[in-house]
Amino acid sequence: PYYGLNLKSLAGYKKEVTTQNFESHYKPDDSPYRSSWWFRKEFKLDNSIDINNKQFWLLFKGINYSANIWLNGQRFAGTDYVIGAYRQYDFNITHLIKQESTNVLALEIFSPNPDDLNISFVDWCPLPPDDDMGIWQPVTLYSTESVAMKYPFVRSKLNVETLAEAELIISIKLQNNQKEEIKAILEGKVEEINFKKEIILKPNEMRKVEFPYIRINNPRVWWPYQLGLSELYKLDLQVKVNDVVSDSTEIIFGIRDIKSTINEHGSRIFTINGHDILIYGAAWTPDMMLRQSKEKDAIDVAFVKNLNLNSIRIEGKFATDHFWNLCDKEGILVLAGWCCCSFWEKWKYWKKGDIRIAEESLRSQILRLRNHPSFIAWFYGSDFPPPGSVEKIYLKVLEETYIDLPTISNASSRPSDLMGETGVKMTGPYTYVPPIYWYLQERVGAANGFNTETGPDVCIPPFESLQLMLPEGYKHVGSDVWNYHTGLGAFNNTKIIEEAIEKRYGKPKDLEDFANTAQVLAYECWRAMYEAHARNFPEATGVIGWMLCSPWPSLIWQLYDYYLNPNGAFFGSKKACEPLHIQYSYDDASIILINKTLQKKQNLTATFKILNMDLKERFFQSRNNIMIDKYSKKEFFPIPKINGLSKVYFLILTLEEESTIISRNFYWLPQNNDVFKEKDKWFYTPLKEHADMSALRNLPKAEIKKLININENKNRYEISIDLENVSDGIAFFIRIFLIGEKTEKLITPVYLNDNCISLLPSERRKINGFIPKKSVTENVLVKVQGWNC
């Protein structure tokens, strides 16, 4: 269903829908998903288990959308209770389970309708005909003795002045499953610290128990990626009855302090362990059919780190527990919340019972996610704040479940009835704008505030990926298949991008040329977006690129495509988000040094060089003994107006530490800038005049010499690529990708420390990276292709 137009051939496809089946629509009369579907599982208990002393539980972490549930022929839950894609259900099934014979679990599941609080991909990709009905998160059978432990939670209070001490507040609910009073002993351990408490539980009572002040001296603090180590602790808990363990669990947690306020610029700022930080991330999405794999989870998180990003935003569809564990381990910050543009935001049409579904969905997700140190914020609205009556219920749940969690009424600048201003904005743009856009404060999406979703798009996959997604006969821009794999409404074609490519770089001669040019355009546009926000911090406090990845083969909104192939936007973003980075400002030609680490840097050397297209030097300066404080910026001079520049010229910035280049930034710049029309559209700002860099098409051919080394190292192959420009002219925008030597099939994922580079004559560069061993089934061929080589 992911290839070509195949989705249209599936049973139940909504042929009459004019919006290409985006969002949720009523199913046609002949859809097989108008009726319920059955899911059945047989299982046996170990004969050695004494079930007379056990309590058995079934935990469902995600059913889309409603269900009747049977065990051994007896229905124990119905659609009046089991309803809502984001709810979790924990059933005591002790009275139904069998030991001597096979147990049969059966679920009759009903798919969601458009007027349900459903799962939606909005305008990112179509929904499959079944609207993703089914069991979409794990089902777990587990057992306890008479007293069970529920909802363990570890909060930490860190001394942010010294980081030398912390207090843990540990809470859990104990459930007595007997008809008589029980004396229980709750015991806990965090490394060498032990604690316990005696509790008398009334018959069938569930009670919250708390250990309020457990002191940790010299804690190993959890830091986000690039700011320090993401240290984790383990809490062991057990409850005993009559000196026998009745239930036990372990919780992995981090000690960190997270706060969010609105600063003097009116921008929402996040403070981690006492330090104000810039949020620079991208929006994550799962697979179109919600298929899950630990391998894909690991790839997504690894790509976030490879991009030098520190965060992701999740809008509904809240990933797997494994994904969240990886974010904890790798220090990736996660901002999560409800999805926009669906029934979740059509409050005035909510049916009787929908408010309870929304309330319990929120409770389920916060209880599930609250122990993750990576979880730093919750949006309880997306494009709009909920009305006060709904907001009041949401805030009550949040207060009951995670009072310390930064919560925001919605991801736009619209104030809410109860919480007021958000300190964030959702102004776009969502399609092409040139690099200078982000620096112009009169533009609504300029680099200020906290932009929760934005980006210049131009996320066309590289040519080798287009070959995989477009069938023969459709391998051209604007074909039926091409447009089917775009978006909804204003985004259902790539005409704005096509115009930008043609007017900025000249008309491509074929599909491959179009794809290659798109990578060049994407690189400069995405780099500028992240660089502008870094320069303008703390007036600009956050930017979430739209988007990180795609739920199916797509032509829009992705830094790496469905085939796990990074595009030009990926490497432009990666360059911009270097922890120690030298950059150019498109508005005033200033050079800025950005330090996004918590270490002061000294004795740095910076060089600034401008070359015409014929490589004649038009400007050069260097600065020595540069010092920059931790998490700060340093502005150098604006580059002066220079006479005699070619129509397109090159700016090369380098930053050295102990004679080693630690940041290199290569710009190609037009003599004349873009000119915008006066009015912004809701999703971008049209141009009156495009900057012209078509002269790049006249660059002479260049030749690249390459030396490849691939070495096996445990579970991966490490790759080293030495490149040298052996020609007299520049080798512009060299891109590296890997294929199989025999099959010529694309090999992904590949993690490189740089790509899409340009080399001056005689210049050499070494690119390092690795390939997971699982990705390699034959000899590897390294492809090196450039704009003019």
Query: Domain holding 113: CATH number?
Result: 2.60.120.260
Q: In CATH, what number is assigned to the domain containing residue 628?
A: 2.60.40.10
Establish if 548 belongs to a structural domain: yes
For residues 487 and 584, state if they share a domain: no
For residues 10 and 83, state if they share a domain: yes
Domain final residue pick, 233, 253, 273: 253
Q: How far apart are CA 318 and CA 292, in angstroms?
A: 12
Total domains present in the chain: 5
145 assigned to active site: no
CB-CB contact of 596 with 642 (8 Å): no
For residues 471 and 370, state if they share a domain: yes
Indicate the pLDDT class of residue 19, thresholds 50, 70 and 90. Answer: low
For residues 473 and 443, state if they share a domain: yes
The single residue of 383, 512, 587, 692 carrying the catalytic annotation is: 383
Type of residue found at 753 = N
Indicate the pLDDT class of residue 292, thresholds 50, 70 and 90. Answer: very high
Closest-CA residue to 729 (of 696, 756, 707): 696
For residues 267 and 185, state if they share a domain: no
Alpha-carbon distance values, 237 to 209, 252, 256, 443, 670 (Å): 12, 11, 21, 54, 63
CA dihedral 174, 179, 185, 188 (to 10 degrees): -20
Omega of the bond leading into 749 within 30 degrees of 0 (cis) = yes
Per-residue pLDDT of 713-748, as tens digits, reads 999 999 999 999 999 999 999 999 999 999 999 999
Establish if 385 belongs to a structural domain: no
Alpha-carbon distance values, 169 to 156, 522, 547, 600 (Å): 6, 47, 36, 34
Closest-CA residue to 434 (of 502, 508, 541, 522): 522
CB-CB contact of 182 with 147 (8 Å): yes
Looking at residue 547, its pLDDT comes to 98
For residues 139 and 151, state if they share a domain: no
For residues 608 and 498, state if they share a domain: no
Q: Buried b / exposed e across 693-730, counting CB within 10 Å, b at 16+?
A: bbbbeebeebebeeeeebeeeeebbebebebbbebebb
Alpha-carbon distance values, 383 to 116, 338, 339, 492 (Å): 18, 10, 8, 21
At 395, is the secondary structure helix, strand, or coil? helix
Residue 16 clears pLDDT 90, i.e. is over it: no
The single residue of 23, 453, 578, 680 carrying the catalytic annotation is: 453
DSSP of 546-579: S-S--SSS-SSS-SB-TTS-B-HHHHHHHHHT-S
For residues 26 and 172, state if they share a domain: no
Looking at residue 51, its pLDDT comes to 85
Mean pLDDT of the chain: 97
Domain final residue pick, 126, 144, 162: 144
Alpha-carbon distance values, 219 to 159, 215, 216, 223, 387 (Å): 10, 9, 6, 12, 42
Per-residue pLDDT of 472-500, as tens digits, reads 999 999 999 999 999 999 999 999 999 99
CB-CB contact of 435 with 520 (8 Å): no
Indicate the pLDDT class of residue 158, thresholds 50, 70 and 90. Answer: very high
Closest-CA residue to 620 (of 630, 612, 628): 612
For residues 427 and 290, state if they share a domain: yes
For residues 446 and 585, state if they share a domain: no
Q: Buried b / exposed e across 96-115, counting CB within 10 Å, b at 16+?
A: bbeeeeebebbbbbbbbebe
CA dihedral 314, 291, 547, 488 (to 10 degrees): -110
Domain final residue pick, 662, 682, 697: 697
Residue 390 clears pLDDT 90, i.e. is over it: yes
CB-CB contact of 358 with 336 (8 Å): no
Establish if 345 belongs to a structural domain: no
Establish if 196 belongs to a structural domain: yes
Strands 139-144 and 55-60: antiparallel
Neighbours of 53 (CB within 10 A): 11
DSSP of 142-196: EEE-SEEEEEEEEEEEE-TTTSSEEEEEEEEEEEE-SSS-EEEEEEEEETTEEEE
Q: How far apart are CA 367 and CA 480, in angstroms?
A: 45
Task: Collect all residues with Cβ–Cβ distance below 8 Å to 783 and sequence separation of at least 6.
Answer: 736, 737, 738, 739
Establish if 132 belongs to a structural domain: yes
Residue 23 clears pLDDT 80, i.e. is over it: no
CA atoms within 13 A on the CB side of 81: 11
- Alpha helices for 637-721 (secondary structure H): none
453 assigned to active site: yes
Establish if 598 belongs to a structural domain: yes
Residue span of the structural domain in which 280 resides = 262-327+359-376+397-412+419-576
At 472, is the secondary structure helix, strand, or coil? coil
Residue 21 clears pLDDT 80, i.e. is over it: no
Q: Which two tokens stand for residue 218?
A: 């010299």
For residues 176 and 231, state if they share a domain: yes
- Report CA torsion sign: 377, 380, 383, 387: negative
Establish if 1 belongs to a structural domain: no
Q: Which two tokens stand for residue 753?
A: 């420390």
pTM assigned to the model: 0.97
Gyration radius (Cα) of the chain, Å: 28
Looking at residue 18, its pLDDT comes to 61
Percent of the chain predicted with pLDDT > 70: 99
Query: What mean pLDDT is predicted for residues 684-690?
Result: 97
Residue 637 clears pLDDT 90, i.e. is over it: no
Lateral strand order in the sheet of 751-752: 704-713, 716-725, 764-772, 751-752
Establish if 654 belongs to a structural domain: yes
For residues 646 and 782, state if they share a domain: no
